[in-house]
Amino acid sequence: MEKMDANVNKYAVIMKKASHDFGGGAGVFDLDLALPAGSILGVIGPSGCGKTTMIRMVNGILGTTSGEVLVLDKDPIRFTANEKTKIGYIPQHFVLYPNLNVQENMHFIGGIFGMNNSERKDKIQSLLEFVDLIDAQKRLARKLSGGMQRRLMLAGALLHTPDLLIADEPTAGIDPILRARIWENFRALRDQGKTLIVTTQYVGEAAYCDKVAVMRKGRLITVDTPQGLQHQAMGGEAVHIEVDSSQIKDAMQFLIGLPQVARVDPVPDKPNSLYVFVENASKAIPMLLSQLKESEGITPTIAEPYLPPFDEVFVRLIQRVEEDLAMERIQ
């Protein structure tokens, strides 16, 4: 996580112990976060963990009950009309008008941001091309597929050229191919210098982000890069090693004894494979291969870095938090 207060201007969003308490244990609590401008922050967590509440605190719909939120250097609750144009927002559900066609919906959004007709026209065309809806521009929104509606929302949120785009579960309920395309769009925007905050229930989408905030029960468990998260979850980097099944026990015993190895786990359903956890996988692989050969005469058939899926990372992180909490309760 970035150090806060070091340079306020380089952060698009800063949250300092920010809470919004709805009462009865509901809400978000003590959120600490600093999001550098020009990056993508993915917010992941199970349904009801407080992702949307956090988003609403960032876009100025909800204030804080304690702590502080700064968006583009200002409390978003006090944004002027002009400052609000720097934010683009894609709510969780489709909120555009089913009886208006794609182009009319876009013009409507441009209108509410005060853009005149000539300003809107060219921008709409280029954005519809960007989200691949140019051929559907005369189609009524109610006749668009779920994915097209999402992309229309994305185009609408970008129409007034915001600096910060906030998207609340933009990929929910759509197929993996389309999700990948939406993330392509997001990364393209990031490359143009925009800052994005994207919530998602698809843990795997964390891989597309520059930073990932993991939430559980209204609290931030951690904020890190995707690789950092994997490292945190696994206690290091993993190396996948496959040997002859008759040598698996010997290999496991030898590897556990090495000082560079933190842990060795058998691979479920693969009796001749092991995961070896080390500090740095790419540096450790040559050393592991030579030591196995020299000491045990074992030559692995596969030795490669293993990137655990984020589902697994997420489960491990949650498990770790729950174990920590259980320990706290015992103590």
Q: Which is nearer to another protein, 14 or 90 (CB)?
A: 90
Q: Which is nearer to another protein, 11 or 89 (CB)?
A: 89
Q: Which is nearer to another protein, 109 or 255 (CB)?
A: 109
| Interaction between residue 300 and another protein (CB under 8 A) | no
Enter the DSSP assignment of 59: T
Task: Give the contact letters, 197-226, x = binds to another protein (CB under 8 A), - = no.
Answer: ------------------------------
| Interaction between residue 85 and another protein (CB under 8 A) | yes
| Interaction between residue 87 and another protein (CB under 8 A) | yes
Stretch that binds another protein, among 88-96, 173-181, 219-227, 321-329 (CB under 8 A): 88-96
Question: Least distance (Å) from another protein to the CB of residue 103?
Answer: 11
Residue among 16, 84, 139, 187 that touches another protein (CB under 8 A)? 84
17: left (phi over 0), alpha (psi -120 to 50) or beta: left
Backbone angles phi, psi at 96, to 5 degrees: -85, -175
Burial of 159 (0-12, 13-18, 19+ CB in 10 A): buried
Q: Which is nearer to another protein, 87 or 203 (CB)?
A: 87
Question: Least distance (Å) from another protein to the CB of residue 120?
Answer: 10
Q: Which is nearer to another protein, 141 or 248 (CB)?
A: 141
Alpha helices in the chain (DSSP H): 51-58, 81-84, 102-112, 117-130, 146-158, 176-191, 226-234, 248-256, 281-291, 310-330
Residue 188 identity (one-letter amino acid): A
Question: Least distance (Å) from another protein to the CB of residue 174?
Answer: 18
Q: CA torsion angle for 37, 106, 206, 208 (degrees, to 10)?
A: -70
118-157: contacts with another protein (CB under 8 A): 140
Backbone angles phi, psi at 170, to 5 degrees: -70, -15
Question: Least distance (Å) from another protein to the CB of residue 167?
Answer: 12
Q: Which is nearer to another protein, 42 or 76 (CB)?
A: 76
* Angle at CA of residue 148, ends 143 and 154, nearest 5°: 130
* Angle at CA of residue 169, ends 115 and 195, nearest 5°: 55
User: Within a 10 A sphere around the Cβ of 95, how many other Cβ atoms?
Assistant: 11
Task: Give the contact letters, 39-78, x = binds to another protein (CB under 8 A), - = no.
Answer: -----------------x--xxxx----------------
Measured CA to CA, the distance from residue 116 to residue 119 in angstroms comes to 5
Measured CA to CA, the distance from residue 100 to residue 325 in angstroms comes to 51
95-124: contacts with another protein (CB under 8 A): 95, 97, 99-100, 104, 107-108, 110-116
Q: Which is nearer to another protein, 28 or 212 (CB)?
A: 28
Number of chain positions touching another protein (CB under 8 A): 30
Residue among 82, 118, 246, 331 that touches another protein (CB under 8 A)? 82
Measured CA to CA, the distance from residue 216 to residue 273 in angstroms comes to 33
Q: Please report, as ranges, the residues that interact with another protein according to CB under 8 A.
A: 56, 59-62, 81-82, 84-85, 87, 89, 91-93, 95, 97, 99-100, 104, 107-108, 110-116, 140, 166
